[in-house]
Amino acid sequence: MVTETPLFAALLLLLVTLLGVNTSLTRMRLKISDGDGGDKHMHRAIRAHANALEHVLPFVLLLYFYEQSPGASPAAIRWFGGLFLAARVGHAVAMLRGPFDLRRLAATMTIVLEVWLALALLRNLL
C-alpha cells in the first residue's frame, strides 16, 4: 500500500498553521481584536489563512482517497502533492506580499490539480 499522503498532509497543514500564526501576530501588532479593522494587511492575513484552509483540507482528503483507490501510483501522489504544496506556498506568499501574477498562477495551479486529482480518483474507482 502507498503511504505518501501523510507527508503532504503534514506539510500542507503546517502551512495552514503558519498562516494562522501570521494572522494572530498581525492582529496583535495592529491591535485589532475582531475582523480586519479596515486594515489591508489584516485583511490579507485573514484571507491567506482562510483560502489555504479552503483548499488544503479538500485536497488532502482527495489525495487520501486516491491513495486508497485501486491503481494508485506513488509517483502520481508525489507529483500531485508536491505541485499542490508549491502552488499553495506561492499563493500564500502572493496574497501576503507578492505580485498578483504569482497569485493568479498559483490559484490556477491549485484548481487544475484539484480537478485533475478528482478525475484520477474517479478513473480508478470506475
**Residues 93 and 38: beta-carbon distance below 8 Å:** no
pLDDT above 90 (res 3): no
Q: How confident is the model at residue 1 (pLDDT cuts 50, 70, 90)?
A: low
Question: What gap in Å lies between CA 103 and CA 92, rounded to an integer?
Answer: 8
**Residues 62 and 76: beta-carbon distance below 8 Å:** no
Tell me what the pLDDT averaged over the chain comes to.
Answer: 96
Q: What is the pTM of this model?
A: 0.94
